[in-house]
Chain A
Amino acid sequence: MGRYAVRRLLQMIPVFAGATLLVFLMVHVMGDPVAGLCGERQCDPATEARLRQEFGLDKPVWQQYATYMAHVFTGDFGTAFNGQKVIDLMASAFPVTIRLTLVAVVFEVVIGVALGVVMGLRRGRPVDTSVLLLTLVVIAVPTFVTGLLAQLVFGVTWKLVQPSVSFTAPLDELLLPGLVLASVSLAYVTRLTRTSIAENARADYVRTAVAKGLPRHRVITRHLLRNSLIPVVTFIGTDIGALMGGAIVTERIFNIHGVGFQLYQGILRQNTQTVVGFVTVLIIVFLLANLLVDLLYAVLDPRIRYA
């Protein structure tokens, strides 16, 4: 198990290097960061040269990347052009987005898994068919449309919630945005759980459990669920990273000052340090979530553990 974890960790390193380099290069060609710095007017050449040197922009790009990564590993994500430390921006933005993501994951687990189990056990009945159709509709409507409509209906028409979230983003105000963020994944979790349950319900070992004379609830919880939820857990784990990345849209709609908001601002203002810093952290989160999933998978499925 320990060796497995170490091996997976080592496999992550080239992926991390590749992904961050890719983003670094993207941002590098994003445009001239100095050009936007002097406001509307043209910078004078002397100031421009000084700024370039100050930010190390006169060096070749691979050298800039190496220097940047070296700094990142000491916890230094650099300074945005407006003088704010990127790490400070992160300190204010990440807690908000993590809260939002957690709300979304809770929705996925509670609603998605519960619906999926019920549907899987009642396959082909009206409940199953109608929820199945509903999940397709949810998947088909892009999150930003869902978000705008939810905001319109719950925030404006029914006035159940504030249409936009306040700066501190308390948990209760994040319920609706969290549900919107979770919506598509929630539909996937429901479908995945349903398929998995329905498939495993016909498995031989479930028949054995029934033949052993176990009570129905025990057959379901101890034998059926344990096996069926393995792919679901995998999906939810990988989804955590995707949710944090996807929060850009939700945060924009509900005016939440999280990671997506800062990234969006960074891109609009061509603030390379902010963009690279945030994206790097997001990629780390994404990869760690994947690693966690792999390890969890091994814990849940002994066939992997001893392979």
Chain B
Amino acid sequence: MPEPQRTCPAGAVVATLEKPPAHLGDGASTARKPRGLWSDAWHDLRRNPVFVVSALVILFLLAIAAWPSLIASRNPLSCDLALAQEGARPGHPFGFNGQGCDVYTRTVHGARTSVVVGVLATLGVAVTGSVLGALAGFFGGAWDAVLSRIGDVFFGIPVVLGGLVLLSVVSGSTVWPVIGFMVLLGWPQISRIARGSVITVKQNDYVQAARALGASPARILLRHILPNAVAPVIVVATIALGTFIALEATLSYLGVGLKPPTVSWGIDISDASPYIRNSPHMLLWPAGALAVTVLAFIMLGDAVRDALDPKLR
């Protein structure tokens, strides 16, 4: 659940004394070469330590998700019950879990599941949400009313609750039901944002001008509106990616998400929770990995938002 959109009092012109070049007149604009929104944002992002650190964490995560055996060559499913709940020892820096599996290997291999669930759910939500939101915003009227009400219905169902009910029906150990559920309940959020920005952009003079010049609706939507509406969607989607990873773990903890033999941080945390008093290491490592991953995506989204929205500085 990303941060709700701030509501700004209509017409409240923020005094820009904090940024004198803008305040002190036109002369200032000659100081810097004008750049586009994206290249300007990129220029800022490269200098933002928060962005650099979170981007590096995410790159590392993607790498071990693609090739986990690079840093963990053991099989995450080969376990020895004799070693159950044992602590760290040479070659096994994170110790063993309740079934005697190597916690380090499982934590590394768990990254793939989280990344797959996070990325696919985000893609699904972003595509579905943007398309439906853009259609609702662009065509308005009945389209808008129906789509917005349907969105409200899905929005009206608390996520964990919906997951518990819906996913308890669908069994199986693949990631697809979980991803499908996230898309089903997640799209209205993106759709609202896409709808809002399409409506804003639609009223801009240059779009009105294009329309007056006789451009077709498809051309206006693709060439003029989408490129401008895409920034807020990307920001929210990045943050949502982190929260989807956390949601997968939560659902797995409740026993309705992923199931063994899938290797997932959520399953490992859930399995470790009964032993938390005596062997907290079983829980701390996958939980730490999960927290760092979610944090990296949220901070990345936060940094991108700040870069794309100069008003917030």
Determine the distance from Cα of A264 to Cα of B161 in the docked complex, in whole angstroms: 9
B300: shortest Cβ distance to chain A, in Å? 11
Q: Shortest distance in angstroms between A117's beta carbon and chain B's nearest beta carbon?
A: 16
Flag if B298 contacts A148 (CB, 8 Å). no
Q: Mark A259-284 against chain B: 1 for CB-CB distance below 8 A, else 0.
A: 00001100100000001000100110
| Segment touching B, from A46-54, A70-78, A202-210 | A202-210
Rounded to whole angstroms, the CA-CA distance of A238 and B5 in the bound complex is 13
Per-position contact with A for B167-179: 1 when CB-CB < 8 Å, else 0? 0110000000000
Q: Identify the closest chain A residue to B243 (Cβ).
A: A139
A238 cross-chain contacts in B, Cβ below 8 A: 4
Q: Which residues of B contact A143 (CB under 8 A)?
A: 250
Query: How many positions in chain A have a CB within 8 Å of any CB in the partner chain?
Result: 64
Which residue on A lies nearest to B165, using beta carbons? A26
Instruction: Give which listed residue, B152, B246, B280, contacts A140 with CB less than 8 A.
Output: B246
A142 within 8 A of B: yes
| Cα distance A214–B4 in the bound complex, in angstroms | 32
Task: Check: B242 CB closer than 8 A to any chain A CB.
Answer: yes
Check if A142 sits within 8 Å of B294, measured CB to CB.
yes
Interface residues in B1-58 by Cβ distance below 8 A to A read 1, 3-4, 6-10, 12-18
Distance (whole angstroms) from the CB of A4 to the closest CB of chain B? 17
Chain B facing A: main interface SS: helix
Contacts of B123 in A (CB 8 A): none
CA gap between A14 and B147 in the complex, in Å: 13
Which residues of chain A are near B154, meaning CB under 8 Å? 22
* Complex interface: chain B residues within 8 A of A144 (CB): 249-250, 253, 269
Is there an interface contact between A199 and B14, defined as CB atoms closer than 8 Å? yes
Among A27-35, A60-68, A106-114, the one that faces the other chain is A27-35
B5 to A, closest residue via Cβ: A231
- Give which listed residue, B16, B152, B158, B165, contacts A30 with CB less than 8 A: B165
* Residue B160, interface by CB 8 Å: yes
Most buried by A among B9, B17, B269, B299: B9
Whether B161 pairs with A282 at a CB distance below 8 angstroms is yes
Contact with B along A176-211 (1 / 0, CB 8 A): 000000001000100110011001101111010000
- Return B13 CB to nearest CB of chain A, in Å: 6
**Whose C-beta in chain A lies nearest to the C-beta of B15?**
A202
**Among A156, A191, A248, contact of B161 (Cβ-Cβ < 8 Å):** A248
Q: Does B277 contact A (CB under 8 A)?
A: yes
Q: Is the CB of A203 within 8 A of B159?
A: no
Which one, A36-44, A84-92, A93-101, A239-247, is touching chain B? A239-247
Residue of A nearest to B152 (CB): A15
Q: Please judge, given known A-B contacts A136-B295, A267-B168, whether A23 and B157 are in contact too, CB under 8 Å.
A: yes
Contact residue among B149, B160, B247, B299 (Cβ-Cβ distance under 8 Å from A136): B299
Q: Does B150 contact A (CB under 8 A)?
A: yes
Contact of B160 with A145 in the complex, beta carbons under 8 Å: no
- B17, B158, B169, B247: the one within 8 Å of A282 (CB): B158
Partner of A23, one of B13, B165, B247, B291: B165
A18 interface hit (Cβ, 8 Å): yes
User: In this complex, what residue of A is CB-closest to B293?
Assistant: A140
**What residues of A have a CB within 8 angstroms of the CB of B91 in the complex?**
none
CB of B250 within 8 A of CB of A195, answer no
Q: A231-B7, A234-B4 are in contact. Are A248 and B164 (CB under 8 A)?
A: yes
Cβ contact within 8 Å between A203 and B9: yes
> A141, B157: Cβ atoms under 8 Å?
no
Q: Decide: B157 and A202 in contact? CB cutoff 8 A.
A: no
Q: Which of A22, A140, A231 contacts B153 (CB 8 A)?
A: A22
Check if B215 is an interface residue, CB within 8 A of chain A.
no
B200 to chain A, nearest CB (A): 18
Chain A hits for B61, CB < 8 A: none
Complex CA–CA separation, A148 to B10 (angstroms): 44
B287 touches A141 (CB 8 A): yes
Q: Which 4 A-B pairs have the closest CB atoms?
A: A245-B158, A140-B295, A18-B153, A140-B294
Taking A23-B157, A283-B156 as known contacts, 18 extra A-B pairs with beta carbons closer than 8 A to each other, sorted by chain A number, are A18-B150, A22-B153, A26-B169, A140-B292, A142-B294, A144-B249, A148-B273, A188-B4, A195-B312, A199-B6, A202-B16, A205-B12, A207-B15, A241-B158, A246-B158, A249-B253, A279-B165, A286-B156
Using a CB–CB cutoff of 8 Å, the interface residues on chain B facing chain A are 1, 3-4, 6-10, 12-18, 149-150, 152-154, 156-162, 164-166, 168-169, 242, 246-247, 249-250, 253-254, 256, 269, 273, 276-277, 280, 283, 287, 290-292, 294-295, 298-299, 302, 312
A-B contact pairs, 10 of them (CB 8 A): A22-B157, A140-B291, A144-B269, A156-B276, A202-B15, A203-B13, A204-B12, A231-B4, A238-B4, A303-B9
